[in-house]
Structure 1
Amino acid sequence: MNQLKTGALLNYATIFLTNVIGLLMTPFILSYLGKDDYGIFITIGALVGTISLFDFGLNNTVVRFVAKYRAENDKKGEENFLATVMLIYLFISIIVIASGLIFYQYIDGYFTKMSVDQLRTAKSMFIILIFNLAIGLPGQAYTGICYGYESFIFPKTLNIIKYVLRSLSVVGLLVLGGNAIGLVIVDTIFNMLLIGITMFFVFKKLKVKIKIHELSKRFVTEIFSYSTWVFLFALVGIFQWKAGHWVLGKISVAGVLAVYGIGITLGTYYGAFSTAVSSVFLPRATQMSVSKSSGEELTDMMIKIGRISFLVLMYILGGFLFFGRQFVTLWVGGELGEDGSYQSWLIALMIMVAYTLPLVQGFGNSILEAQSKLRFKAILYLSFMILGTALGAYFAIDYGAVGMMTGTVISWLIVQNVMNFYYHKVIKINIPRFFKMLFNKSLLAVLISFAIAYLINFIPGYSWINFVAKCVIYSVVFFTVIYSLGMWKYEQQLVITAFKPVLNFVRRNG
């Protein structure tokens, strides 16, 4: 149990560190590399990240099957499974290298808007990252083994240490005159060190053995039958977050890639909150599914969770809507320019708006997972993400990075409306009642808060101090209005319970 609790805590610590350090490192890297090289850096990373799909979801499969064999106390089965997976990974690494070498031949013809020097940088980075990926994919299996053994503390702690040391190394490298190629070399070195240390832990501490006992077609089929849907959702993620880089890399100059990448970065921070919140409710959804809770009972739970998520998200969205442009300008405006920072803010805002409804209805996804009904969602999302990429490519011809994101956002909005129909008809969640209760009291309070935030934005000044002052005033106004006008009684009680330790401390020391 200590492993589970500490592992969960380390998971949230990782999310916090990733977001905070990411916010600090992005303008630093951008200022040293420049807009063009930074655009190349993130775009080549996105292209190589696409090739990582050859993992086929095997990492998640390792976790599941190792846990299964441990529960059955089948050491021979575990050894045989791991040996089979490693052979599959060896084949995958060969495919990764072969695919990388083939695409390498066409880089010049693909990135037609890049200069000769930029192409040279892109090709060097691509080769290094392909090598990194060929090693990294099978290396991930060792972290999966740790999770299958419910040994969470070591790999998660190691990952935090790696992230901090990697960030410090990047700072040192750039200060000493390093470039984008140096950054991917640093990433490769840390990746190899992480894999090596994890392997030592797996073999020496966990006493894991990898040995082939038999190799049957049925066994390989069983492995891939589980990983197929994991792979499909990974493919959806590729079209959501990386496909825009493919398109813009073909038709735009490197600077546009930087603008798009910054917008995506900010938008995915909002999405990270979605994953952190919705995943917490999977056990509750599973319990309700096992006990065969009615559609109205599921609706009640979705309303309770959705309202809390909605109020928190409206706080974040309102702050970014009214003060986000000032933040982005202060954050990276010196490197991107006024128009570039505005477009990055707009892209991030579009992502946040489109992501809000899926996040508010995150419990619905937990129900689908608990009831093993993810197939419809996976096929629906993949179909419309492909359509959104094609639509974005059309808009990008005239509107660049913003046009690219417009196509993706349109597909998101269509998908979520279809999912609401599915929730209502198949899962039996009362969607009309959900929205009616979601907006009960809360919508008026949010609109009042947004109106006041609009007025706060007229406070003169454009410095960091001015930005922080606006955010503090907005926070006080938002939470006061929401608590007074927008919350139900039980929600107010949740707030009181959450802050009770703080209030008691103030009383004792006041």
Structure 2
Amino acid sequence: MGTLLSYTSMIVGYVIQIGYTPIMIRIIGQSQYGLYNLTNSIVSYLSLFSLGFGPAYIRFYMRHRMQNDETAIKRMNGMFMSVFLLLGMIATLAGIILVSKSDFVLGSKFSKSELALAKKLMILMVANIAISFPLIPVVSYIQANERFIFQNSLTIVRQIMNPFLALPLLYAGYGSLGMILATTVISMIVGLFQIYYAITKLRFRLLWSKHDFVELKEVAIFSSFLFLNAITDQINWNVDKFIIGRYYGAVPVAIYGIAAQLNNYYLSFSTAISNVYIPRINRIVAESKVDMNHHLTDLFIKIGRVQFMVILFILLEIIFIGRPFIGFWAGKDYYNAYPILLVLIIPVTVPLIQNAGIAIQQAKNMHIFRSVLYIAIALLNALLSVVLVQKYGALGTAFATALAIVIGNIILMNWYYQKHIGLDIVKFWSSIATFIPLIIITVIFGWVTISLIDSYTIIGFIIDATLIAIVYSISLWFTVFTTEERYLFMRKLNKGRK
């Protein structure tokens, strides 16, 4: 149910964004949209001040829960809240400094009016970051209790509220400032609901005194490497916009921003499944049974197959009809986002179907190698981006990101999973290899379809997308699904009908 609601919330969010984004772009213009993307990517670095403590919560919560130690949980809640209040204040102070130096940070490719707008945008974004910090322990507590229905239902409401509040502000002439203001107000409302639910329904309690400093030290050590992961993600997915902005200004950032937005949608389709299994993975590791690695491998393969079923369909649709979609959605001025999008999403598909391995590493406290490796690869990505952007523009930065993913996320991490984590990667890829006939059938059919039917017309686009989806679904059923998967699918379908 949690997974179903995750996908429901994503589909609702994407449908809303698909309708909302082109209206928003046409109201605020390409330059202001690029400026919005650039400032958002810069301010998002303030989230690094969480220092990786958020993902660490579930691991330590599960340890106390297995021992039925309610007092230890309350003490840990108080400790985490104290830490995040402190970190939130530090992040806010850093944000104030960042805003005061925004002209220097953005560089010389922007006009005075753009720099003034950027400063206002950054002030609101810093406020948004400040609100988020004290909510992290509350949200982590809800997730650790596996209340996915509440969380995902709230996400659906949030996605619906955002455009309804933002659009009137856009039409009133507030531009991108109105968008950020709407996001800030909604974040405050959603945060209050989360606090109320955690306190009244889940008995979220805090013990402010008698902090366990031994545990705090253990959490800090564990989190330090998650912090490196966060730095890696920020560099890989946000530094490109900053580099492009420094060399070319706002408009190329807007084009890259469209590709990045679609890439984010692609990423979230995979994590919606694996996120639901994080508490279960931590529970399996906490129980420490003899056949633990066998169970983790089976779960790793199960999650990976389902993820690949979903994102392979999206990937193939993007390959065949992604360019006309961008034209219909964002406008013909954004066609150049299509090759950038392909360069980003094709290599990232592999780590996406293996992201349950991240939770397994963290649960086993064996994530140090990944953290150190990824920060090295991310720095290589940033260096290559600076070199390639000067010759190939925004596409060059995308190639740098893709190369970093291939070296770090694919080659080296698969070796580490097999050699040290205890996952049977050969078995995993043997299972994924069963998708090859499906890929061949869909690719051949897709090329024939777009050759015969012009997907740059609305009717042709819908026909092409529908035919590819039908062929993919039929081929998936007959070439990929195991007997067990067919049985489970039909059982869930019948249950849904009832």
TM-score by length of 2: 0.85
> 1:202 Cα shift?
4.5
Cα distance in 1, alignment partners of residues 442 and 65 from structure 2: 53
User: RMSD between aligned alpha carbons?
Assistant: 3.5
Whether the 8 Å contact between 1:59 and 1:144 is mirrored in structure 2 is: yes
Query: Relative to 1, partners in 2 of residues 1:58 and 1:420: Cα closer, same or farther, differing over 3 Å?
Result: closer
User: More displaced, 302-311 or 461-470?
Assistant: 302-311
User: More displaced, 163-172 or 84-93?
Assistant: 84-93
- SS of the aligned residue for 1:460 comes to coil
Supply the AA of the counterpart residue of 1:322. F
What's the counterpart of residue 332 of structure 1? 330
1:6-25 matches, cutoff 5 A: 9-25=4-20
Query: Relative to 1, partners in 2 of residues 1:79 and 1:497: Cα closer, same or farther, differing over 3 Å?
Result: closer
From 416, 420, 428, give the equivalent of 1:422. 416
> 1:405 Cα shift?
1.1
From 372, 376, 380, give the equivalent of 2:369. 376
Cα distance in 1, alignment partners of residues 430 and 5 from structure 2: 37
What's the counterpart of residue 191 of structure 1? 187
> 1:117 Cα shift?
0.9
From 340, 347, 351, give the equivalent of 1:354. 347
From 391, 397, 408, give the equivalent of 2:384. 391
> 1:446 Cα shift?
2.0
**1:231 aligns to 2:227 (yes or no):** yes
Whether the 8 Å contact between 2:154 and 2:190 is mirrored in structure 1 is: yes
What's the counterpart of residue 270 of structure 1? 266
What's the counterpart of residue 257 of structure 2? 261
1:162-173 matches, cutoff 5 A: 162-173=158-169
> 1:121 Cα shift?
0.5
User: More displaced, 294-303 or 320-329?
Assistant: 294-303
From 290, 300, 317, give the equivalent of 1:319. 317
Cα distance in 2, alignment partners of residues 269 and 321 from structure 1: 15
Whether the 8 Å contact between 2:13 and 2:160 is mirrored in structure 1 is: no
Query: Relative to 1, partners in 2 of residues 1:210 and 1:254: Cα closer, same or farther, differing over 3 Å?
Result: same
Supply the AA of the counterpart residue of 2:440. L
What's the counterpart of residue 405 of structure 1? 398
Whether the 8 Å contact between 1:278 and 1:359 is mirrored in structure 2 is: no
- SS of the aligned residue for 2:454 comes to coil
What's the counterpart of residue 94 of structure 2? 99
Deviations 1:386-435 (A, max 9, x none): 21122122111222221111101101001111122223433465656654
- SS of the aligned residue for 1:439 comes to helix
Whether the 8 Å contact between 2:37 and 2:254 is mirrored in structure 1 is: yes
Structure of higher CA gyration radius: 1
Cα distance in 2, alignment partners of residues 114 and 13 from structure 1: 40
What's the counterpart of residue 338 of structure 2? 345
**1:38 aligns to 2:33 (yes or no):** yes
1:276-315 matches, cutoff 5 A: 276-279=272-275, 283=280, 290-293=288-291, 309-310=307-308, 312-315=310-313
TM-score by length of 1: 0.84
User: More displaced, 315-324 or 187-196?
Assistant: 187-196
> 1:105 Cα shift?
3.0
Cα distance in 1, alignment partners of residues 492 and 47 from structure 2: 46
Cα distance in 2, alignment partners of residues 211 and 498 from structure 1: 45
Structure 2: which 5+ runs fail to align? none
User: More displaced, 105-114 or 226-235?
Assistant: 226-235
1:407-486 matches, cutoff 5 A: 407-415=400-408, 416-427=410-421, 431=425, 435=429, 438-439=432-433, 442-458=435-451, 459-460=453-454, 462-481=456-475, 483=477, 486=479
- SS of the aligned residue for 1:242 comes to helix
Structure 1: which 5+ runs fail to align? none
Query: Relative to 1, partners in 2 of residues 1:304 and 1:91: Cα closer, same or farther, differing over 3 Å?
Result: closer
What's the counterpart of residue 247 of structure 2? 251
Supply the AA of the counterpart residue of 1:470. D
> 1:19 Cα shift?
2.8
What's the counterpart of residue 110 of structure 2? 114
Count of residues in Structure 1 that have an aligned counterpart in Structure 2: 492
Query: Relative to 1, partners in 2 of residues 1:185 and 1:411: Cα closer, same or farther, differing over 3 Å?
Result: same
